[in-house]
Every structure is written in C-alpha cells, then in structure tokens.
C-alpha cells in the first residue's frame, strides 16, 4: 500500500503500512518508527500545559477526579504560574535535546482535559505551537465526554492544516472499572466520541490502563479486541501506577489493592498487542511518574527495561503485534 506523504515527500510508503515495521525487524508498530516514516526525521512528543481544567473535578462530569490523578496539578497557584506555550516549547526542546540534536516535535497537550474551554481559547492554544518552526503537529489529550460539535469543527479545521491526533482516555471498556476509578463517564462515551471524531477524518488515539483491580487477563484482552475493531491511529498503554496524594495511593498504602508486578505487566502488554491490528501505532508500553511523586511500582521508572522485556516475551512466544488479531469487518 502506498500514498503520497505530504510531510516526507521522499517517502512514498504509507506510514500506517501493516508490514513496514515488521520488515524493519520490529515486533510492534512503535511510535518512533511511525514518526520517522511520516516526517522523515526524528520526532518526539513535547508535553505542554495550557492550564485547562477538568470536568471530572468541577462537578460537570463528576467530583474529585479519577482516583489516580494528582489534584495538585489543578491548584490555581500552579496554573497561574504557567509559562507561555512558546516558552514551554523552548524549555522542552532544551530538556529533550540538550546537545541540540536536529529533529522535530509534536506539541502534546497532556495534563487535564484539553478540549475543556471556550473554542476561541482552544483555538489560541492549539495555534500557538504551530507557529514554532520545530513543531510538526499536535496531539491533544482529552476525555471522550468533552468534545462538543464546535470543538470537533475546530479540530477538523486544524487536522486539515497539520498532523493531529486526538487522544481519548478510555482506560477500559468495562464500566465497572470506570466506576471504580471514578472516571465520570462510561465506555459508551468513548465509542461515541471515536465515531464522531473519526467521521471527520481526524486521527484518534486511545489510552488504556492494564492491571486494574478486578480485571482478568480475558477482560484486558476484551478491551484490546474492541479497540481492534476500530480505525484507531494509536494506543497508549499504561500499567496501573500510583502517585502521591491520590485516592489510589491511599488504597495502595492501606493494602486494599496491590499494583501489578513487572512480569504481569509484560505478559499483559504482549497479550494486548497481539490482539491489535498491525497498523495501529503503539505510543508507549508503560506509564510512569517522576520519582518524587511516584508511590509505585518502582519498576515503571525503567521504560527501556519494560520495552526489552515485552520484546523478549514476543520472541519467547514467537508472536508480535497483530499475531492474534481477528479482522471482524
């Protein structure tokens, strides 16, 4: 399959090709590989905080927020002190590339709910990074119950001008798990948002947490199988991890729940990827937090070890991403 790649005219291959990552010797469709193919240079995601809030904290969708989310990130004092987005980009580039390596960046609106503001404010926030010469597109993280028609109109307009992926926090397709983590929405909200977004030609990503209490390996595979039936751009996997000052941290400290072990997460990540179509880009295999905030598990600080162990698990099984994908279309 080939198509014209407007970002990287030297490359005529489709960056979503089912097999290119495979022939390059990878075991899953890694984000770095996708970026290199699409843009022709190394591209990294650069996290930006536009100071948006969250409807799961102010009572619009729910109160108190998700049990794993740090309330400190929403304190007014912190938000008032935020530097401009351009200043955050410059600082982010210095941090990610201290030796001034060449390369481009995807502006990643990461903390909070990045479609939760009047559309004119959203427009200003989304357009500011695009004026920077080293930004090649946007990734916008948000909740699936927070994309109104005017917001989708704006996102569609932007997606016609630049590379854009809207990343929805799904976490699990099981409503009992969403209730447990106080998400303030059901799985149906994700499928509805996916449908309305994808119909406009916008790339959609999904965030999933593996290792939620009460979810069996089959339950996690059920989430993978549901996602496999969608035309998703990307999936970001998180292991369940706890940060300080959250209800989740309290549960861990009280011994109410235990966090997944390294080996459990590796097996679950491999199971999950085996059920996804080869074309889906894997944004990451595990989540982590800075050491000063992390309660556990400590192993998630070493993302390279997780990646190597997932690859070793694939080799041991003789499988890779898509090995157990069933095309149900």
Sites of contact with ligand SF4 (CB under 6 A):
54, 56-57, 65-66, 69, 112-113, 143, 169
Q: Torsion angle, CA of 216/220/221/227, rounded to 10 degrees?
A: 160
CA distances to 57, 79, 104, 185, 226 from 72, rounded to whole Å, are 12, 10, 31, 22, 34
Residue 64 CB, shortest distance to ligand SF4, in Å, is 8
Residue 218 in contact with residue 190, Cβ under 8 Å?
A: no
Residue 57 CB, shortest distance to ligand SF4, in Å, is 6
Residue 12 CB, shortest distance to ligand SF4, in Å, is 39
Residue 265 CB, shortest distance to ligand SF4, in Å, is 20
Dihedral angle sign, alpha carbons of residues 11, 12, 15, 19: negative
Looking at beta carbons only, is 177 or 321 nearer to ligand SF4?
177
CA atoms in the 13 A half-sphere facing the CB of 81: 6
Residue 22 in contact with residue 278, Cβ under 8 Å?
A: yes
Dihedral angle sign, alpha carbons of residues 301, 303, 308, 309: positive
> In the chain, count of helices (H) and strands (E)?
12, 9
Residue 150 CB, shortest distance to ligand SF4, in Å, is 20
Residue 169 CB, shortest distance to ligand SF4, in Å, is 6
Looking at beta carbons only, is 115 or 223 nearer to ligand SF4?
115
Q: ∠ at Cα 160 (148, 90), nearest 5°?
A: 90
Residue 86, SS3?
Answer: helix
Q: Which two tokens stand for residue 279?
A: 């074309």
Residue 74 CB, shortest distance to ligand SF4, in Å, is 8
Which residue blocks in 97-203 are alpha helix, DSSP H? 119-130, 149-161, 175-180, 187-198
Looking at beta carbons only, is 206 or 228 nearer to ligand SF4?
206
Looking at beta carbons only, is 65 or 297 nearer to ligand SF4?
65
Looking at beta carbons only, is 70 or 271 nearer to ligand SF4?
70
Angle 187-198/149-161 helices, nearest 10 degrees?
50
Residue 283 CB, shortest distance to ligand SF4, in Å, is 16
Q: Torsion angle, CA of 176/64/113/233, rounded to 10 degrees?
A: -20
Looking at beta carbons only, is 32 or 245 nearer to ligand SF4?
245
Looking at beta carbons only, is 69 or 276 nearer to ligand SF4?
69
Looking at beta carbons only, is 135 or 165 nearer to ligand SF4?
165
């Amino acid at each position: 399959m080939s198509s014209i790649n407007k970002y990287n005219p030297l490359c005529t291959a489709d960056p979503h090709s089912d097999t290119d990552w495979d022939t390059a010797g990878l075991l899953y469709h890694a984000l770095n590989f996708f970026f290199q193919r699409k843009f022709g240079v190394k591209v990294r995601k650069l996290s930006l905080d536009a100071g948006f809030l969250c409807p799961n904290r102010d009572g619009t969708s729910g109160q108190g927020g998700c049990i794993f989310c740090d309330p400190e990130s929403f304190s007014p004092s912190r938000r008032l002190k935020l530097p401009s987005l351009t200043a955050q980009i410059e600082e982010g580039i210095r941090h990610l590339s201290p030796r001034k390596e060449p390369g481009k960046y995807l502006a990643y609106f990461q903390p909070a709910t990045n479609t939760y503001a009047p559309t004119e404010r959203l427009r200003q926030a989304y357009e500011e990074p695009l004026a920077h010469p080293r930004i090649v597109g946007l990734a916008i993280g948000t909740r699936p119950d927070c994309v109104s028609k005017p917001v989708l109109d704006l996102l569609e307009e932007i997606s016609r001008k630049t590379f854009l992926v809207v990343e929805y926090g799904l976490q699990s397709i099981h409503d009992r798990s969403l209730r447990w983590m106080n998400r303030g929405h059901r799985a149906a909200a994700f499928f509805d948002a996916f449908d309305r977004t994808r119909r406009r030609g916008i790339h959609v990503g999904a965030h999933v947490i593996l290792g939620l209490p009460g979810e069996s390996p089959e339950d996690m595979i059920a989430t993978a199988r549901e996602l496999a039936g969608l035309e998703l751009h990307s999936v970001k996997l998180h292991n369940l991890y706890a940060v300080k000052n959250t209800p989740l941290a309290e549960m861990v400290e009280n011994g109410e729940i235990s966090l997944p072990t390294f080996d459990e997460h590796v097996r679950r990540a491999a199971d999950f990827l085996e059920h996804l179509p080869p074309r889906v880009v894997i944004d990451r295999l595990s989540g982590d937090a800075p050491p000063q905030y992390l309660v556990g598990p400590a192993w998630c600080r070493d993302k390279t070890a997780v990646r190597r162990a997932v690859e070793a698990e694939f080799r041991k099984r003789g499988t890779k991403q898509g090995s157990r994908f069933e095309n149900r279309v």
